[in-house]
Structure formats: C-alpha cells, structure tokens
Amino acid sequence: MTFRAPARDLAFALKTIGHSDLLARAYPDLDEDTVQAVLEAAAAFANNELAPLNRKGDTEGARYENGRVTAAPGFAEAYQRFVEQGWNSLSADPEHGGQGLSKALELAVFEMVHAANMAFGLCPMLTQGAIEALALHGTERQKRLVLPKLVSGEWTGTMNLTEPQAGSDLAALTTRAEPDGQGGYRLTGQKIYITWGDHDAAENICHLVLARTPDAPAGVKGISLFLTTKKMVKDDGTLGSLNDLRAGSIEHKLGIHGSPTCVMLFEGAQAELVGSLGQGLPHMFVMMNAARLQVGVQGVAIAERAFQQALKYATERKQGRTTWEADGAIYGHPDVRRTLLLMKAKIEAARGICLATGVLADLARLAETPDDRTAAKARQELLTPIAKAWSTDIGVEVASQGVQIHGGMGFMEETGAAQHYRDARIAPIYEGTNAIQAIDLIGRKVRLNGGATMRALCEDMAATAHNLADDPDLARVGERLTAGVAALERATDWLVAADNAAALTAATPYLKLAGEVVGGWILGRQALAASGSSDPWMQSKGALARLYAGQILTQASGQADAVVEADHDLERTAAAALAG
C-alpha cells in the first residue's frame, strides 16, 4: 500500500504541546513555517525512500555469511541518502557537527522514519543513544574522534547489554574487560540481541559494551562501560584493521526482519573505558533512556502505519449491507468506523505523550531558570516510562485491530497487515519490558518523592479539564477528564501509602491508568486548540477527544479500582489457581 507520512498531524501535535513557544525562545530562526518545511522534507524521504523498502526488508531480510552481515536489499543505499540529507544529526550539539535542533522535532522526524520502515529506523535510533551517552560521559579522545562520525552518520552505534544468562538482570553479566597494559582494555564475552550489531551500510560500527574488570565487585557496582569499534580508530581519526570482534549469527525473529539482530562475539577486542569504572549502568542509562523514548515513538509509528492500511482497506472492501453510505465498503459499518476512529484517537494520544516528553527534554536543558529546568527534568522522567510502555502497547493493539479490520485477509501475509502486527510485538519487550517500565514509574518516579511530580501533572490536567468544561462542544470531555484525573490521584495516594509488594503488584495497572488519563489530556488540549475552526480536519480533533473520553476515560474509575485491589489474594491463592 501507499504510505503517507503524517506531517500535518505531527506539526499540529508539536504546536499544541508548546513546541512553538520553546522554539521561539531557544531557536529564534526556527519558526512554524520552518518546522513544517523540515517535517514535509522528512515525510518525502520516508514516503519515497524508506516505505518502498519495508516489504522487501520483511520478506528478504538481512543476510549472514562468513561472519559478516549484509543489510536487507536497498537499506545500505537508503542509509547513505539518509545521512547525506542530514537526518542523523538533527538534535546533536553543533560542537560535534550536529544541527542543534530540538529533541521533540527529532522525535517527530523519527516517527515518520519508523512508520515508513521500522527495521531501518532502528539503526539510526541506536546511534542517537550512543551520541547522547558519549556526549555526556565520553573521554576527550572519544569526543574528538568518534562522536563527530556518529553525529554525521558515517559510523553507527550499538548498545551491548544482554547475555544468554543476563537479560533484565544485568548483575549476572560475565563479559570481561582486562587491562591491556597500555591504558586500554581487551573485551572477551558474548552479547545477544544486538540491534544492527553488524552490517555493510556504514564504514564503521561503534559498540558500547557493559563488562567487568578482573577486580570488579559482584553485582551492578562491578559493571563498567566500554567503547569498542568494528575497525580500529587511529589517533589521527583514520581507520585501521578489523578489531577482534564479530557477529556469530543473526537472530531469526518474529518481525523486524530487515533489522539484523546479532549475536556478538568479543574475542579480545581492543576497547576504551567510557566514564568511570563501576559506573557502567548509570552511564548506559543515558543511552537506554534515549532509546526508551524512541521505542515509544516506534509504537506510535507502527500504529500509524497499521491504521493507514486498515483505513484504506475499509474504504475499498465491499462486504454486507452497511448502515451509512460508503459505496458498499465496510467503512459504512458502525463498528468498523468506531474501531478506526478509536485507533486514530489512541495514536494521537500516544504521539502527544511522546512529543511532550521530547519537549520536556529540551526544557530540561533550555528553560530560563534552574527551578524550571529541574521541574521539566522531573516531569520528563515521569513521562518516559509511560511514553515507552503505553505507546508500544497501543502499537500492538492498533496493529491487531488493523488485522481484524482486514478480516481473513489480514491473517494472510500478502496484504502486509500481518507484518505490522509482527513488527509491533517487539516494542513492548525491548529496552526494558513494559512491566519494568511500570516498576520504574512507581518506584523511582512516583513513590520516591511521595507522588509530588505526578500530583503536579494532575493539577495541570485538571486545569485543562476546567477549560474544556467551559466549551459547550467539549464539556463532556472536560467532565470525563476531571473524573479521570481524580481516579489517577486516588490511585497515586494509595500507591504512595502501599507496602512494596502491593505497589509492585499494582505497577502495570497503574501505568495503564496513567497513560490513558494523560492521553485524554493530550487530546483535550488538541480539541481546545482546534475549537471554533471551520476546517473539517481541525473539527475532527474535537470528535476524537469526545470518542476517547466516552470510550476510554469513562473506564478510569474502574482502572483505579484495579490498582488498589491488584494484590488481593495474589500471594495467598496464586499457587493453587495456577496449578489448576
């Protein structure tokens, strides 16, 4: 099918979450027209260069031969054009060759990249995280020789955490980093699930690797972060011989076949320490948190791609006697139309959450006062696990609904609907499963400060609900958002007071509730921004907010009940129930 990158939706979303205000202060030359031009150029690249390769990447995939990986057909050439057009360097510091634009704008561009070709987008996505990690913790040599090449896209980056025995529990990793006597280290060990760990699309690959030195203590305090490269980097920046590392194989996956997911073997590879010994996890979390937000954007992107295909199919497929005039197409069936509109509403809600988190990342650097920067950072950290987990769950849900709208044809690979569902399914798993995101949300972001950051967000959402209530067309949205905020506040109060076991049991229901309420807030703000317009496209924003409020926010009170009652009988009866 023909894909249309949603540049107009993205521009409107950026505007309604305050991106224009941020740009006016931080980037005086980057006005709304320029933002629109950037988005339209990125949309053209996504539509014309990346989308046509998506199906071929799925059916043919990357290839592994003789210890080396070849990218899926057309991917290497598309990557070179991606780099040449400057898409890799949007938000990087100009000191390192970047364009210095906003993180939120970069996220908007990457949504279109991921929607057009999720497997392709994973390569530059991981590079962005490596850029952020080295910019903050890299040595002067790394910043001088490696960082500019990552920013330009001439080299790509990877994140090497997982081992066969050490998934989410990184304390169990065993990869060794032994001093080489010359200030460097030699890495020995095996890492698995390494996205774009090897390929032929760039001249060098920079691996950020978690490992232990010989005298390191057990547990996470013994983990350090190291940089090693596919080809050795000389002191003058030129490339030398191949390093002692290789791809042992590529994984055979449910989806994202165009993305080579590698087993990486480090066989005495020369490496450099990044940051301080024993601080590997905190240093790597810079990269991981960047990736988590990008993965949330992937969830939005794959949902958008699945929605567009489902909508096109619904307007063409003729079946049964419809209620509304639609030339006999299934789009005229009420449940099909309701499903499509709810898919669209959830996409826009998730998109807004991800972009709002990006704006907060910008404000955490650029706000005028220290207090404003601190507050922005706290809210960014609060929203990051919600953006990652809720948005990727929406990606799977919408892709599944896309298959459903296709009916039996959706279950056939020929239509392409199944690919979106298969591709979407990884996003709730990697960069920390969504259950881990929920635990992070309740532990580090809500309970740690007694719920203060969440309550401040609830105050802002309640203010929006009040404004909605004053608009006759949106009053019911305001009422339901008010009720949703009250439910979230009740759940937050319970969570802060609960013991640790009860809180952990409630973590996933709590994140779901938070995502749904914040999503309603996002749609309410969009509806207010569009209120009074005679443009049918703008008027649709109010319709989506009303549908979401009626179908989703009305469930908030029950979701809060699910939070406070999550631990009832769990410990006492689970063993017997699960044993059957």
Among 137, 171, 205, where does a domain finish? Answer: 137
Of 213, 245, 278, which residue sits at a domain end? Answer: 278
DSSP summary character for residue 329: B
Domain encompassing residue 236? 156-278
Identify whether 335 is part of a domain. Answer: no
My answer on whether 503 and 562 are in the same domain is yes
Closest CA to 511 of 398, 389, 342, 425: 389
**419 falls within a domain:** no
| Whether the Cβ atoms of residue 263 and residue 191 lie closer than 8 Å to each other | yes
Burial degree of 465 (CB within 10 A; 0-12, 13-18, 19+) = buried
- Which entry of 106, 163, 304, 431 is annotated as an active-site residue? 431
125 shares its domain with 91: yes
* Co-location of 84 and 192 in the same domain: no
Question: Does residue 196 contact residue 126 with C-beta atoms inside 8 Å?
Answer: yes
Query: Which positions ≥6 away from 489 have C-beta within 8 Å?
Result: 455, 458
Residues ≥6 apart with Cβ < 8 Å to 17: 104, 352, 355, 356, 359, 522, 525
Give the residue carrying structure tokens 């009303």.
546
Total number of domains constituting the chain = 3
Tokens of 387: 């953006």
**What does the pLDDT read at residue 1?**
57
Pick from 526, 563, 561: which is nearest to 546 by CA?
A: 526
- Tell me which H or E stretch contains 262: strand 261-274
Q: How many beta carbons lie within 10 A of that of residue 240, not counting itself?
A: 11
40 is catalytic: no
Residues 102 and 183 in one domain: no
104 within 8 A of 110, measured Cβ to Cβ: no
Pair (211, 247) in one structural domain: yes
Indicate whether 118 and 160 sit together in one domain. no
Is 270 part of any domain? Answer: yes
Q: Do 109 and 90 form a contact (C-beta atoms < 8 A)?
A: yes
Predicted structure pTM score: 0.96
The pLDDT value recorded for residue 574 is 66
Which residue matches tokens 């017997």? 576
Same domain, 129 and 213: no
Using the 3D structure, point to which of 137, 166, 199 is the last residue of a domain: 137
User: For residues 290 and 137, is the Cβ–Cβ distance under 8 A?
Assistant: no
178 with 99, same domain: the answer is no
429 part of a folded domain: no
Of 133, 173, 117, the closest CA to residue 5 belongs to 117
Q: Which two tokens stand for residue 238?
A: 């030129």
Residues forming a β-bridge with 265 = 190, 246
Looking at the fold, whether 113 and 168 belong to one and the same domain comes out as no
Three-state DSSP at 373 gives helix
DSSP 8-state assignment for residue 442: I
* Number of residues in the chain: 580
Do 173 and 129 share a structural domain?
A: no
Long-range contacts of 239-245 (CB under 8 A, 24+ apart): 239/203, 239/204, 243/269, 243/270, 244/186, 244/268, 244/269, 244/270, 245/187, 245/207, 245/269
Predicted pLDDT at 580: 59
Three-class SS state of 249: strand
Q: Is 224 helix (H, G, I), strand (E, B) or coil?
A: strand
| Alpha-carbon radius of gyration of the chain | 24
Asked if residue 420 is part of any domain, the answer here is no
| 84/193 same-domain check | no
CATH at residue 191: 2.40.110.20
| Residues ≥6 apart with Cβ < 8 Å to 521 | 460, 461, 464, 465, 481, 485
Mean pLDDT in order along the chain per 10 residues (580 residues): 91 91 78 92 98 97 94 98 97 94 95 98 97 96 98 98 92 96 97 97 98 94 97 96 97 97 98 97 90 97 98 92 82 94 98 97 92 96 98 98 97 96 97 96 95 98 98 98 98 96 95 98 98 96 98 98 85 68
Q: Within a domain: residue 482? A: yes
One domain for residues 104 and 168:
no
Q: Is 565 exposed, middle or buried (0-12, 13-18, 19+ CB in 10 A)?
A: middle
Measured CA angle at 443 (ends 382, 395), to 5 deg: 55
Residues near 12 by Cβ (< 8 Å), separated by ≥ 6? 526, 529, 541
